[in-house]
Amino acid sequence: MIDLIRQYWQPFLWGSPNHISGLAMTLWLTVASCVIGFALALPLSVARAAGPSWARLPVWLFTFVFRGTPLYIQLLIIYSAIYGLDFVRTTPGLGSFFKDALNCTVLAFAVNTCAYTTELLTGAIKATPRGEVEAARSLGLAGISLYLRIVLPSALRRALPAYSNEVILMLHATSLASTATVPDILKVARDAYADYYLPFPAFGIAAVLYACLSMTFIWLFRKAEQKWLRHLSTT
């Protein structure tokens, strides 16, 4: 067990000169997919909450399909099935994109979290108090400026607790990247396990690292809520 820790603490935590560490890879996967997913979810949720029906239906279908199937299947489809198609492999841009495991995992994670984020942002937009919108309209705001100045700032704040949950779930979901050979925390743990056949220390270290990351994210979001939700606190 000492040997395992001695050999693997670097891949787990700091990485070596030519390899990114598991911790850094997990963080990168989480941040990249959440940022991309959020950026896509913002227009989609506005479309779903307030758009015309030809825009609402496809967005609903998108969230329904991606929330109704396991992320693992979505990852398998993007990582192995799409690259398995001959025409994808022979098309220059597509082939090189889907050949890379990291591209595929970030794409799968981003699309998946986008579906969940769209749904929770839609809920927050729809729950905007009527009075806020009426006040904005009476001051002459309408259309895009109504959304940019009033509805979205208010809805995004109220969505913060639910979104912090989604980010934690996404952090946990990134452990699936190890099945696509991306060297995240769990991949390092699986390598360590394969080397030493000591499952408890190998996966235990991974579990502790994930737990620490979760606690850090929870703490950060609590700070953010204290800052941005102060106007809603009852005390």
In the complex, what is the shortest distance from the CB of residue 135 to other proteins, in angstroms, rounded to a whole number? 22
Residue 119's identity, in one-letter code, is E
Given the complex with other proteins, which of 36 and 76 has the nearer CB atom? Answer: 76
CA distance 118 to 49: 10
In the complex, what is the shortest distance from the CB of residue 180 to other proteins, in angstroms, rounded to a whole number? 12
Q: Which is nearest to 80 in space by CA: 105, 114, 46?
A: 105
Which chain residues interact with other proteins by CB under 8 A?
65, 67-74, 76-77, 80-82, 84-87, 89, 171-176, 178-179, 186, 189-190, 193, 197, 199-200, 203-204, 206-207, 210-211, 214-215
Given the complex with other proteins, which of 141 and 207 has the nearer CB atom? Answer: 207
Residues 6+ apart with CB under 8 A from 205: 5, 8, 12, 189, 192
Q: Which is nearest to 184 in space by CA: 51, 4, 31?
A: 31
In the complex, what is the shortest distance from the CB of residue 77 to other proteins, in angstroms, rounded to a whole number? 5
Given the complex with other proteins, which of 106 and 173 has the nearer CB atom? Answer: 173
Residues 202, 205, 208, 214: what is their CA dihedral angle, to the nearest 10 degrees? -80
Residues 6+ apart with CB under 8 A from 169: 116
In the complex, what is the shortest distance from the CB of residue 90 to other proteins, in angstroms, rounded to a whole number? 11
Given the complex with other proteins, which of 128 and 214 has the nearer CB atom? Answer: 214
